[in-house]
Amino acid sequence: MEIKEIIELVRRGLIDEALRYLEGLEDIDKVIVLSEATVVTRNLEFIEEAIYILEKYIKRVEERVIGYSEIALALAKIGYYEESTEYFNKAISLLNKLDKYNAAVSAMFLGTRLARAGFYDSAFDTFEYSFDMIIDLDIEISKKTDLILSLADVIEKTGDELASDIALKFYERAYDIFDKLKVGHRAGMLEKKIRLSKVLSFTKDPEIRRLTYEGRFKQAIYKVHEKFGKGKRGLAMLEIALWAKENNMPERIELLDMALREIDPLKLNDEEIKRAVEVLVDLEEFQRAMEFAESIKNGKIRDEALAIIGERLIELGEVEALREIIPKIESEEVKKELLSKL
C-alpha cells in the first residue's frame, strides 16, 4: 500500500489497520506515518518510536531533515512547542551539511512545515535561505530559473494554508519572484490573492478565502456559519460581499443583502465595527457606515471610523456631505487632517 493511502487510514482514525503496513515502508516513511499517528491519537509513544527510527536507522541527511521536520510539526500540532522548536532546530542545522542544491530543496520542504507549525518568521527565513542557495548554484540559467519558480510555487501554496494577515507576506514574496521572472499569469493570480487577503482581513480563514477566490460563495457562506458565532458572521459575510462587488460577480447583490441582514454592531467590538465601516464605505453603503461609526464607544476609534467615511466622500467629490461628519469628530487633529484633503 502507498504511503498516502496509509496516512489516509491514520487520518480516518484506523490506526491499527494503518500500522499493519508499517513494516513494509522505508524508514523515512515510517517516521512520517508515526508522526501523523501522534497528531491523530495524541499518543507520545508514536513520536518516540519515530524519533528512535530516525536517529538509529536514517543516515541520509536529506531524509533526516524531512524526518525531524515531520516530528517537529507533529509535536507543534499537539501543543509541545518547546520540543517542536528543538527538532526544527535539528532540521535547520542539517542544511549546512548539504550541498547547495539539496540544501535549497530541503529548505523548501522545511519551510512549509515551519509555517504549518506556526513558526512563520522562521519559515519565511528558511525560504529566503533556499532562494540564496539557488542563486549561488553554478548551473545552467534555465535550471536555476526552474528551481526559483518551484520555490515561488511552494511559497504561494504555503500562503494558501495560512490566515489572511500572515499569508500576505508569503504571497507578496511569491508575487515578487513571478513578476521579476515575467511569469505574468502567476503574478496575476497572486495579485488577486493579495487583494483577497486584504479584503478578508477580519475573516482570515484560509478555507473561506479559497472558496471565495474560486467564486464558490454558497460554500464560503456555509463555512462562515460553521466557523463564526452569530455575532461575528455578519462582518465576515460583508467582506465576502465586497469581494464579489469588486469582481463584478452576479452574486454581489444577494451577498450584500444577506450580510446587511446579518450584521449587528451591538455584537462587535469597536475595532470590528471600524472594520465594518471600512467595508461599508467600499460598498458605498454610507448611511449604514455612519450608523455603525456612531455606535463606536471609544472616541479615538470612532473618530478614525468617521474620518474613513469622510475621506471616501472627498474622493467622490461629495464635499457637502462632510458637513454632517465634521461636527461628529472630537479630535481637532483628525478634523484638520481630513479637511486638508479637500
* pLDDT attached to residue 324: 86
Round the CA-based radius of gyration of the chain to a whole number and report it. Answer: 25
* pLDDT attached to residue 48: 97
pLDDT in tens, 162-211: 999 999 999 999 999 999 999 999 999 999 999 999 999 999 999 999 99
Its pTM stands at: 0.93
* pLDDT attached to residue 323: 83
User: HSE-up of 218 (CA within 13 Å, CB side)?
Assistant: 1
Q: Could you tell me the pLDDT band of residue 342, with boundaries at 50, 70 and 90? A: confident
Q: Which residue has the cell 455578519?
A: 234
* pLDDT attached to residue 314: 92
What is the C-alpha to C-alpha distance for residues 88 and 70, in angstroms, rounded to an integer?
9
pLDDT in tens, 72-122: 999 999 999 999 999 999 999 999 999 999 999 999 999 999 999 999 999
Mean per-residue pLDDT over the chain, rounded: 96
* pLDDT attached to residue 104: 98
CB 194 within 8 A of CB 167: no
Quick check: 231 pLDDT over 90? no
Q: Could you tell me the pLDDT band of residue 339, with boundaries at 50, 70 and 90? A: confident
Quick check: 132 pLDDT over 80? yes
| Mean of pLDDT values over 120-130 | 98
pLDDT in tens, 7-50: 999 999 999 999 999 999 999 999 999 999 999 999 999 999 99
* pLDDT attached to residue 340: 87
* pLDDT attached to residue 45: 95
pLDDT in tens, 287-333: 999 999 999 999 999 999 999 999 999 999 888 888 889 999 999 99
